[in-house]
Amino acid sequence: MSRIFSGIQPSGELHLGNYLGAVKNWIQLQGQHPTIICIVDYHAIITVPYDPDVLRARRREMAVSLLAAGIDPEVATLYVQSAVREHTELQWILNTITPLGELERQTQFKDKASRQESVNAGLLNYPVLQAADILLYRADLVPVGEDQLQHLELSRVVARRWNAMYGRGEDYFPEPQPLLTPTRRIMGLDGQAKMSKSLGNTIALLESRDEIWAKLRPAVTDPARVRRTDPGHPEVCNIYTLHKAFSAPDAVKQVYEQCTSAGWGCVDCKKVLLDAMDGELVPIRRRAEELRAQPARVDEVLAAGASACRAIAQQTMADVRERMGLD
Binding flag, residue 225, ligand SF4 (CB under 6 A): yes
Cα four-point dihedral sign 84, 295, 65, 201: negative
The minimum distance between CB 267 and ligand SF4, in angstroms, equals 8
For residues 305 and 78, the answer to whether their CB atoms sit within 8 Å is yes
Of 93 and 259, which CB lies nearer to ligand SF4 in the complex structure?
259
Q: What are the φ and ψ backbone dihedral angles of 226, each rounded to 5 degrees?
A: -75, -50
Q: Which of 264, 277, 284, 302 contacts ligand SF4 by CB under 6 A?
A: 264
Of 107 and 261, which CB lies nearer to ligand SF4 in the complex structure?
261
Catalytic site includes residue 253: no
Binding flag, residue 239, ligand SF4 (CB under 6 A): yes
Q: Which residues contact 23 (CB under 8 A, 6 or more apart)?
A: 8, 14, 66, 69, 70, 71
For residues 259 and 269, the answer to whether their CB atoms sit within 8 Å is yes
Of 239 and 298, which CB lies nearer to ligand SF4 in the complex structure?
239
Binding flag, residue 187, ligand SF4 (CB under 6 A): no
Between residue 265 and residue 284, which ones bind ligand SF4 under the rule CB under 6 A?
Answer: 266, 269-270
Binding flag, residue 240, ligand SF4 (CB under 6 A): yes
**E strands, the chain, where?**
4-8, 35-39, 76-80, 141-144, 177-180
Catalytic site includes residue 112: yes
Of 125 and 221, which CB lies nearer to ligand SF4 in the complex structure?
221
Separation CA 237–CA 233 (nearest Å): 7
Which spans of this chain sit near ligand SF4 (rule: CB under 6 A)? 221-222, 225, 232, 234, 237, 239-240, 255, 259, 264, 266, 269-270
